[in-house]
Amino acid sequence: MIYKLIILLSFMTLSLYAAQLDSKIIDADNSTLEALYKQVEMKKQTDSDTLLQKVLIKKLESFDTEYKVNGDVNTTITGEVEYRKLLKNYYLNMQELFVAKASLENTEHTLLLLQENLESSDKVESILTQQLQYAYHKKKLLYSKNKVAGLQKAVDTQKELISSNLMRIKIDKKSLENDLSISYTSEKKLLELITKLKLEKEKFQLLDNLKETNDVIAMIETEQKKLQEVKEKQLAQKFLYFTLYLQQKNEKVFDIQTEIKTILNQMLLSPEFKNSVLNFINSLSSEHMGVLTTITASTNQSIQESITDLLNMLNKTLFSINDVEISFLKLMVAVLIFVFGFYLGGSYKKYIRFVSTKSEVISGSTTILLSNLGYYIIVIIGLFISLNTLGINLSSVALIAGALSVGIGFGLQNIVSNFISGLILMFEKSVKIHDYVELSDTLRGRITDIRMRSTVITTNANIDVIVPNQNFIQNNVVNWTMNDSIKRFDMHFGVAYGADIKQVIQVIEDAVKNSTFSDVYVSKERVTRVLMTGMGDSSVNFTLNVWIKGNEIFNPKRTESRFLILIYEALYEHNITIPFPQLDLHIKKDEESPINV
């Protein structure tokens, strides 16, 4: 009695001193709390603090800090039914354990805040309320600790029961397969129903129908709870498969582990709960399948999971084109296909050229036509495959290309013109590889390559000149080797007035005839001639027409030089004067201005 009076006096004097934690409230029995309740009732004014104090005192009177685990933990396992029940209780207790641990952490945090508020409070009238709140949460903390300890003990016991009965439980595989099939069917139906309900919710939200929207949301939550229950059944069924394969020491047990992990990831569970279940399964695998086998399988699974995670990361959307999501993986594959198209086209080009060198039937121009045409076809096919890999509809690409065709026609007119000209050159064969052509007085040489846009001409100075293909179509082109390798060269020279014309002609013709030039060609139609072409200001002009055969026709300057030297030496030898321009100056005598010389 004296003890209770002391506690009451301490309660009554709380408002007269600085706020401190009072452990006596926590340890008070029900009769003491009842006396405190009556003391609070005696207050004249009734405010929110008074009401809260009454509620807290009643809560403290009825608070039981002891905890008892629901269900029989030490169940005797005689068959599959009891084993299933054990698995279910283990799962439920595990869930409750992690919820209790979270509650324990929250209660500890709340107590710290209450303690700080109590010690810093300067409101005398609220100190008793805060003391009662602290006492309530202190008892709640004790209850949470007892609950965590009880559940942890129950879970440990159930794990031991599972482990000890694992190898002797007989499991009906056919019945298990049927149950799992039913679960999958139920899951599929629930997912379809949830999808439909979500569409309904979206419809009512657009119509601003709040009541129907809330009703559908409630239905979705109900179906999601059912789906969660189905996943729990699947988890238990997969564990039974896990047990069955462990009994058989079948390595499929590791595949089941992966499936269990997948189911756990699909459920609304904390990471700690998932890890705890997986660790327990791994320990069972190590115990019954061997540590080395388990480590090897775990390593393989980790590699597969890493690959899967990498693929998932690469499949994340980077951007969208016409509502088509483009991921990094798609983009990378498309680029690789496009690059491979270039590589394949280049390889095809090399192969055609290699075959043409071994064949006498395939000409150089045919080789270029086949190689270039095939190359571009392969590259274009590679481009289309790349676009298809990205998921881009080729019909939309064609539509865009058609819309841009006018702009492209103007902007890329020269490129398109050169491209078409290249095709004409390849099919028409007016100029071919190795032909010696002359496009202007300063550009002549041998064609070494005909491409889709341009043609490469190698001059006698071994300079490669890239000429747009349209120049061969629009301008005049001299092809020195189109029909045969015999060409006529015209060398122009002059002699002084007074020279014997017939002698000049004879001297030059004899000089050519008696020369050692083996490339001079003479036939009935093609003969060497010297023609008088005019009478200039200071010379009589002649032209030597001589036919040349062979490769020397491709060196016109060198050929002309040889014959001009021959003409000069022949004229010089026969004392025939070669004139040069002269200007006669006539001086008229002026009588008034005599010129002295």
For every one of its 597 residues, what pLDDT tens digit does the chain have, with 9 covering 90 and above? Answer: 444 444 444 444 444 444 556 666 777 777 887 888 788 777 766 677 788 878 887 887 777 778 887 766 656 777 888 888 888 888 888 888 888 888 889 988 888 888 787 777 665 556 777 888 888 888 888 888 998 898 888 888 888 888 888 888 888 889 989 999 999 999 999 999 999 999 999 998 988 889 999 999 999 999 999 999 999 898 888 988 888 888 888 888 888 888 888 888 888 778 888 888 888 888 888 877 777 776 776 677 677 767 777 777 777 777 776 667 778 888 888 889 989 998 998 898 888 888 877 776 666 667 777 787 888 889 889 888 888 887 776 666 665 666 556 665 666 677 777 777 877 877 777 788 888 888 888 888 888 888 778 889 998 888 999 999 888 888 888 887 766 778 889 999 999 998 999 999 999 999 999 888 888 888 888 899 999 999 988 889 999 999 998 888 888 888 899 999 999 999 999 999 888 776 667 777 665 655 555
Residue 179's Cβ-count burial label (10 Å; 0-12, 13-18, 19+) is middle
pLDDT at position 394 is: 65
pLDDT at position 217 is: 92
Give CA–CA dist 474/177, Å, rounded.
80
Give the C-alpha distances (Å, rounded to integers) separating 466 from 113, 422, 425, 433, 437: 84, 13, 15, 14, 13
pLDDT at position 134 is: 84
398 contacts 361 by C-beta, under 8 angstroms: no
Q: What is the DSSP letter of 304?
A: H
Other CB atoms within a 10 A radius of the CB of residue 237 amount to: 21
Q: Which fold does the domain 486-573 belong to in CATH?
A: Alpha-Beta Plaits (3.30.70)
Give CA–CA dist 569/461, Å, rounded.
28
pLDDT at position 196 is: 93
Side chain identity at 275, as an amino acid letter? N
292 contacts 285 by C-beta, under 8 angstroms: no
How far apart, in Å, do the first and last CA atoms of the chain sit?
167
CB environment 131-165: b (16+ within 10 A), e (fewer) = bbbbbbbbbbbbbbbbbbebbeebbebbbebbeeb
| 65's tokens | 């800090």
202 contacts 216 by C-beta, under 8 angstroms: no
Give CA–CA dist 409/420, Å, rounded.
13
Give the C-alpha distances (Å, rounded to integers) separating 86 from 115, 138, 157, 276, 398: 42, 34, 11, 17, 64
pLDDT at position 15 is: 43
pLDDT at position 183 is: 92
466 contacts 459 by C-beta, under 8 angstroms: no
Is the backbone of residue 327 left (phi > 0), alpha (psi -120 to 50) or beta? beta
Strand ranges across the sheet with 464-468: 464-468, 454-458, 443-450, 436-440, 478-479
pLDDT at position 16 is: 40
Q: pTM, whole model, 2 decimals?
A: 0.53
**Is 424-479 in CATH node 2.30.30.60?**
yes
Tokens 């394969």 identify what position? 245
pLDDT at position 133 is: 82
